[in-house]
């Protein structure tokens, strides 16, 4: 006898109506479609917001943008693992599929979180290359091609927040900025023009909530969806800040 | 120095754990090991350590003050972590959690151990082979000492690993892996030394 019942996919979604509301779980059953991912399933629920008990409910809130794992906006905890929902294929996930927001960040609503702290950290560590002046500063020194290729790997960071979610030292009791902005310091310090502000960035991450808060659990490097060598960056910065602290304490060229 | 107090404290914490506290631990374990050569050998070694000149200053600056800072700041570090080994059961994350757990166990053990030996000595008791033999008449104390000594050694060996990372000595994943094996070797070797000494008194 042939299977007549349509294959279904079950989702258990952690929901929260407002930033301070108590979270609750809601189950949804959807008809299976080939090549479904978590976002297409969430879109399907949005089209017809009815839970598995047949009750009409509000559509689920979540963030998304590029849909190809380069923007980092759609990160959420899927079956206990923080990752991007756009590349989370239903075929590769164990059911029921559990969706939760990354609670390391303030939850805005349902699966949507506020990652502002990461962007604030990038501002704090001056994760850019200053090229503005009152006159034309010229083209600047060249970057060797080999180094550019190496730095490209560090530049893949999309500020998605997965490393902060995985880090045991990023939590409500600490003000650790987390691995992502630290690795950006290494990236911008490696650039021949960015290097001109190297000391400023190092002094910044030697401040409170900075580099020294790393406890070497190395969850970040294991969890990074882009495979960025975050712990190598942290160790390299540990070396740089060691030299920087000796320079500024004993007195030498501090910049 | 005002802006980066946390950086300074963290680095000081890391340094003091190895120099002098870690070195003192190794020296202490080595001296204990004389117990395997009999009562007299142990008492001679213990007496030599006791009769070092400027003993109170050596104890104060090599042991008590660094240990006190390392312990108090370590408790702060341990309790600001939110352990997540259930969700992220990676090897290093387990080591991260164990480093904090063994740190707390070691502190409890050291407080007890100092009370029982050094503070007792200040009140006139003589620290010798006989004293340890009496302590170990209670089998629970043997268990407590084994747990305490193993915790302290683990905390030192794994702390040495993170010392190399924190000061930027081992940067590449390969050097960190080799450092893992090396510190594992130190953990095993010192554990043998420590356990042998404990059973020499039993």
CATH classification at residue A28 = 3.10.20.30
Q: Which residue of B has its CA nearest to A173?
A: B80
Nearest to B96 among A81, A168, A236 (CB): A168
Q: What is the pLDDT of residues A21-36, one digit of tens each?
A: 999 999 999 999 999 9
Using beta carbons and an 8 Å cutoff, which residues of B are at the interface with A?
A: 1, 3-11, 77, 79-84, 87-88, 90, 92-93, 95-97, 99, 161-162, 165-173, 176
| Residues A134 and A189 occupy one common structural domain | yes
Q: What is the pLDDT of residues B150-178, one digit of tens each?
A: 999 999 999 999 999 999 999 999 999 99
Q: Which residues of B touch A168 (CB under 8 A)?
A: 81-84, 93, 96-97
Partner-chain contact A168 B1, CB within 8 Å? no
| Residues A29 and A121 occupy one common structural domain | no
Q: Which residue of A has its CA nearest to B81?
A: A169
Provide the edge-to-edge strand list for the sheet that holds A81-84: A24-31, A8-15, A97-100, A75-78, A81-84
The residue among A58, A88, A113 that closes a domain is A113
pLDDT at A5: 65
Place of tokens 């939590």: A171
| Residue A152 domain-assigned (yes or no) | yes
Q: Which pLDDT band, with edges at 50, 70 and 90, does B189 fall under?
A: very high
Q: What is the pLDDT of residues A34-62, one digit of tens each?
A: 999 999 999 999 999 999 999 999 999 99
Structure tokens at A118: 């990461």
The residue among A113, A129, A156 that closes a domain is A113
**Distance from CA of residue A136 to its chain's centroid?**
36
Neighbour count for residue A203 (Cβ, 10 Å): 19
| Residues A37 and A121 occupy one common structural domain | no
| Residues A212 and A133 occupy one common structural domain | yes
The domains located in chain B, with CATH, are: 5-200 (1.20.1300.10)
Structure tokens at B92: 């290093």
Distance CA A43, CA B172 (A): 43
Partner-chain contact B165 A235, CB within 8 Å? yes
Distance CA A242, CA B5 (A): 14
| Residue A3 domain-assigned (yes or no) | no
Q: Does position B29 have pLDDT exceeding 70, yes or no?
A: yes
ipTM of the complex: 0.93
Q: What is the pLDDT of residues A119-173, one digit of tens each?
A: 999 999 999 998 888 998 888 899 999 999 999 999 999 999 999 999 999 999 9
Nearest to B170 among A206, A217, A235 (CB): A235
Q: Which residues of A touch B178 (CB under 8 A)?
A: none
Task: Confirm if A168 and A217 have CB atoms less than 8 A apart.
Answer: yes
Neighbour count for residue B146 (Cβ, 10 Å): 15
- The total of structural domains in chain A comes to 2
Place of tokens 């042991």: B63
| Residue A2 domain-assigned (yes or no) | no
| Residues A126 and A247 occupy one common structural domain | yes
**Distance from CA of residue B59 to its chain's centroid?**
15
Nearest to B84 among A168, A206, A216 (CB): A168
| Residues A151 and A84 occupy one common structural domain | no
Distance CA A221, CA A224 (A): 5
């Amino acid at each position: 006898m042939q299977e007549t019942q349509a294959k279904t996919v079950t989702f258990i979604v952690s929901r929260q109506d407002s930033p301070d509301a108590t979270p609750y779980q809601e189950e949804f059953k959807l008809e299976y479609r080939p090549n479904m991912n978590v976002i297409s399933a969430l879109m399907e629920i949005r089209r017809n917001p009815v839970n598995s008990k047949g009750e009409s409910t509000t559509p689920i809130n979540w963030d998304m943008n590029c849909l190809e794992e380069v923007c980092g906006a759609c990160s959420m905890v899927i079956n206990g693992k923080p990752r991007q929902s756009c590349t989370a294929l239903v075929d590769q996930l164990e059911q029921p599929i559990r969706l939760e927001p990354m609670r390391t960040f303030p939850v805005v609503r349902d699966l949507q979180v506020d990652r502002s702290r990461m962007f604030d950290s990038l501002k704090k560590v001056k994760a850019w290359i200053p090229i503005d002046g009152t006159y034309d500063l010229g083209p600047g020194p060249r970057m060797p091609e080999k180094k550019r290729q190496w730095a490209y790997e560090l530049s893949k960071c999309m500020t998605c927040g997965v490393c902060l979610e995985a880090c045991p030292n990023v939590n409500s009791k600490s003000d650790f900025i987390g691995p992502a902005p630290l690795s950006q310091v290494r990236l911008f310090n490696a650039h021949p023009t960015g290097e001109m502000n190297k000391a400023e960035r190092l002094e910044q991450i030697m401040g409170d909530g900075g580099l020294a808060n790393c406890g070497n659990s190395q969850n970040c490097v294991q969890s990074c969806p882009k495979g960025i060598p975050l712990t190598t960056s942290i160790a390299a910065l540990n070396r740089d800040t060691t030299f920087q602290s000796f320079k500024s304490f004993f007195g030498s060229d501090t910049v | 120095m005002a802006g980066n107090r946390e950086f300074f404290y963290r680095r000081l914490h890391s340094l003091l754990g190895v120099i002098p506290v870690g070195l003192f631990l190794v020296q202490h374990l080595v001296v204990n090991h004389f117990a395997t050569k009999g009562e007299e050998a142990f008492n001679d070694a213990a007496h030599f350590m006791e009769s070092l000149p400027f003993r109170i200053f050596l104890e104060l600056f090599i042991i008590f003050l660094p240990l006190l800072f390392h312990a108090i700041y370590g408790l702060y570090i341990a309790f600001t972590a939110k352990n997540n080994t259930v969700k992220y059961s990676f090897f290093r994350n387990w080591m991260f959690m164990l480093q904090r757990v063994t740190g707390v166990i070691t502190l409890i053990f050291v407080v007890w151990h100092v009370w029982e030996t050094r503070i007792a000595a200040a009140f006139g008791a003589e620290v010798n082979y006989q004293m340890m033999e009496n302590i170990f008449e209670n089998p629970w104390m043997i268990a407590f000492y084994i747990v305490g000594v193993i915790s302290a050694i683990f905390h030192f060996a794994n702390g040495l690993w993170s010392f190399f990372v924190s000061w930027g000595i081992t940067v590449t994943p390969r050097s960190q892996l080799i450092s893992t094996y090396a510190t594992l070797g130190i953990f095993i070797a010192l554990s043998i030394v420590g356990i042998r000494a404990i059973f020499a008194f039993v």
